[in-house]
Each structure stands twice: as C-alpha cells, then as structure tokens.
Amino acid sequence: MLWPSLLSAGVAQANEAGDWVAQAGWFFIAPHESSDPLRTELTPTALGALLGIGPEFESPGTAASVDRSDTLALTLTYFVTDHLAIKAEGGIPARFDLRGEGLVRPTGPAGALIGVDLGAPANNPLARARQWSPALLLQYYFFEPQLRLRPFVGVGATYTWFTDIELNPSFRDEVQRNFGAPLALAAGAPGPTHAEAESSPSWAPIFNAGLAYALGERWGVLASVSHVPLKTTSTIVLSAADGTRLARSETTIDLDPIVTSLLLSYRF
C-alpha cells in the first residue's frame, strides 16, 4: 500500500535536533481581499467652499482589489528538538497589481467638475508595487524524525512593506487632469499637479500547515499552506506644483492572502 510506504523508515538520518535545512522553491500568493470605500480629504479653500466642495467625502461603490502573484521562495529552518523547528522565510519580493472600481467625486455641484473613474479599463491596474514580507515561524513536526513523511503545523509573524510603487500613467494623468487641475485652481495655485501613491507597512500573524517528505539522507520536498490576516492602507496624495497638498485619498484593504508553497530542501 502507498500510505505505509510513504511513512516507512529508510532514511539514514532525517531532520532531527540540531539540523539546519535550507529550502528553495515557489510561493503562490492568492489574496482574498475586501476594502473600504475610498475616503478623500481636501485642502479647504474659499473657492472650493463657493463651489460646494467640502473638506472630506466618501465615494460609495468604490473598491480596490489585488491580483494574485507568485515568486521565488528561500527559507532556512533550524530544528531545536526532533519536533520543534524555527523557520525564517524570505525570497524575491512579489509584484502585485492594484485594481479599482467605482467613481471618486465629491457630492453636490462640484461632482460635475471633479471626478475620476477607478474602474476604467485604461486606468487598470491603477498601480503596481513590490511586497516585502520576511517571516519567522515556530513549527511542530509530528511523528518521529526517522519517518519519511512528517506533517507539521506552525505559527509566526511577518512584517510587510511595499516598494517600487508605480501609478498607471493613464490613471495618474486622469487624476492630475480631472481632479488635480480644478483643485489647484481653487487653491490659487493653477498649473501642473503631482500624484503619488503609498501603502502602509504592517505586522500580521501567520498560521501554517504542511507536509515534509524525505527523498533521501539529505534531500526532501515540502508543501505547505499559510493564512496571513494582513491589511494595508493605500493612499494617493495629490499636490500642486508648489508643493501645496490638494487632496489625500485612502482606503483600507484587508488582503488576507492564502500562500501555498512547494519547496526542495537540503539538510546540512
């Protein structure tokens, strides 16, 4: 039967206390996100008040989502005992696309003058960014170390931040033309405007489970799945040519990714 053969001993020396195990392979990251409607704060101006543009407004029906991604994974595990291991995870930062839907526009008469369509095909993806998520986990391996197949569970934490954030040129131009130009005029600073995006860093727990299979004395394969209750606040800041801040729009995105991995391991 297959199951007993998978569990059977026969590895000269499997992972046990004192072992270091290096692993390389692939992470597949599938966000299961939800987001709040976009909320916008405007710099108050006399002309803006005359046009009925309030200091802040929410845009019902707007939302943001993040595409799936995959990347190279590099990890290192140290077995404190035959069953307890500490694992550090890293690799090449994954690149994600941020997509949007809905209209951003103030209420009242100003809505006819100021607005951006987040869902327009030409505007999507709205932005791209790289996600850095180094992680540290404590894992428990079941069964004895001499067995080929060992399931495990783990818990840990990750600190996530984003770099190389790039706005879609079409989206950036629409924001600066349809949103920035009227606001700059109302602020008494007519002329070119500048849009910049950022995402907040955050800590998040990790819940992990998987299977490790020894191919031989030193080589093995490992498959796992992790849930990361991660959230971030995405922000777009719009400024006039002289640096005056005109508007700040933000939304909180619950990313909640499911991360699956397939790794080749080497014990030393």
Residue type, 184: A
CATH architecture of the domain with range 2-267: Beta Barrel (2.40)
d(CA 108, CA 247): 17
Bond prior to 125 in cis (omega within 30° of 0): yes
- Cβ contact 48:113 at 8 Å: no
- Read off the pLDDT of residues 137-161 as tens digits, 9 standing for 90 and up: 999 999 999 899 999 999 999 999 9
The confidence score (pLDDT) of residue 49 equals 58
d(CA 118, CA 244): 24
119 against 189, higher pLDDT: 119
Stated pTM of the model: 0.85
- Read off the pLDDT of residues 36-93 as tens digits, 9 standing for 90 and up: 999 998 887 655 555 566 678 889 999 999 999 999 999 999 999 999 999 999 999 9
The confidence score (pLDDT) of residue 12 equals 42
Residues in the chain, overall count: 268
The confidence score (pLDDT) of residue 1 equals 43
> Cα–Cα distances in Å, from 75 out to 26, 95, 135, 153, 221?
11, 19, 9, 16, 13
The confidence score (pLDDT) of residue 2 equals 45
